[in-house]
């Protein structure tokens, strides 16, 4: 997440620098979870009032591998493409539920990520237009990256069920639970159902 406030004045902070203790977070932040979590909470408190709705999608490698053994999945949908398409679908469902169909949705994805081209192609096929590349240092992109980081931490750091996650995870993620949104992980059956609809071929016996 980008923010123009902090302990050292008017500077830009990124989630990547915080997570890896780089830049202005090099000294005094590594191996100091209370300080990092408190700052993360402060960032989310700043971001939350400006966010109407959010979505976070996780593609677990174990579930992805199951579907990939049956369908030609990785050739057509890398995890980035699956997550991107699902996130847009969730946004469209939110738009329709709130009777905002008259507003045009625009999709911005941070450019430069692996499999960006495949993700862009799949989104264009599904929704009629490709996503708009966004610069890595754009504040909205960094805000979304921060949310994605929190969701990823929830799945990688704790083995808990979705219904329990806000009760057991750190306060910065609990704050996201107070903002309307939809999040979760894609199961093997969800992936296979979508591939079947999209007519993605199955693998042969020797593949």
* pTM attached to this predicted model: 0.71
Domain that holds residue 163: 56-197
In a domain, 118, yes or no: yes
* Burial class of residue 42, CB neighbours in 10 A (0-12, 13-18, 19+): middle
Is residue 46 situated within a structural domain?
no
189 domain residue, yes or no: yes
How many other CB atoms sit within 10 Å of the CB of residue 96?
10
Provide the domain count of the chain: 1
21 in any annotated domain: no
Mind listing the pLDDT tens digit for each residue in 118-171? 999 999 999 988 998 887 677 777 777 777 777 777 666 655 555 455 454 555
Q: Is residue 17 a part of any domain in this protein?
A: no
Query: What is the SS3 assignment for 147-175?
Result: HHHHHHHHHHHCCCCHHHHHHHCCHHHHH
Rounded (10°) CA dihedral 105, 125, 202, 109: -50
Residue 6 lies in a domain: no
Closest residue by Cα to residue 85 from 114, 54, 125, 50: 125
Whether 145 is covered by a domain: the verdict is yes
Per-residue confidence band for 13, with pLDDT thresholds at 50, 70 and 90: very low
Looking at the domain assignment, is residue 24 inside a domain?
A: no
Which residues, other chains included, contact 101 with Cβ-Cβ below 8 Å and sequence gap of 6+?
Answer: 95
Q: Is 179 in contact with 172 (CB distance < 8 Å)?
A: no
| pLDDT of 124 | 93
């Amino acid at each position: 997440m980008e923010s123009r406030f902090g302990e050292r004045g008017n500077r830009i902070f990124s989630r990547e620098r915080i997570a890896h203790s780089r830049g202005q977070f090099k000294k005094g932040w590594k191996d100091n979870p209370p300080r990092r979590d408190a700052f993360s909470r402060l960032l989310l408190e700043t971001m939350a009032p400006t966010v109407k709705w959010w979505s976070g999608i996780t593609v677990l490698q174990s579930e992805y591998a199951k579907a990939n053994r049956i369908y030609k999945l990785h050739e057509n949908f890398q995890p980035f493409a699956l997550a991107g398409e699902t996130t847009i679908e969730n946004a469209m469902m939110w738009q329709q539920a709130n009777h905002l169909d008259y507003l045009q949705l625009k999709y911005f994805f941070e450019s430069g990520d692996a499999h960006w081209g495949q993700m862009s192609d799949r989104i264009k096929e599904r929704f009629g237009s490709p996503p708009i590349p966004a610069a890595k240092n754009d504040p909205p992109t960094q805000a979304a990256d921060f949310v994605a980081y929190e969701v990823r931490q929830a799945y990688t750091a704790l083995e808990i069920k979705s219904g329990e996650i806000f009760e057991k995870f750190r306060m910065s993620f609990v704050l996201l639970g107070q903002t309307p949104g939809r999040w979760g992980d894609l199961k093997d059956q969800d992936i296979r159902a979508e591939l079947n609809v999209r007519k993605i071929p199955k693998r042969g016996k020797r593949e």
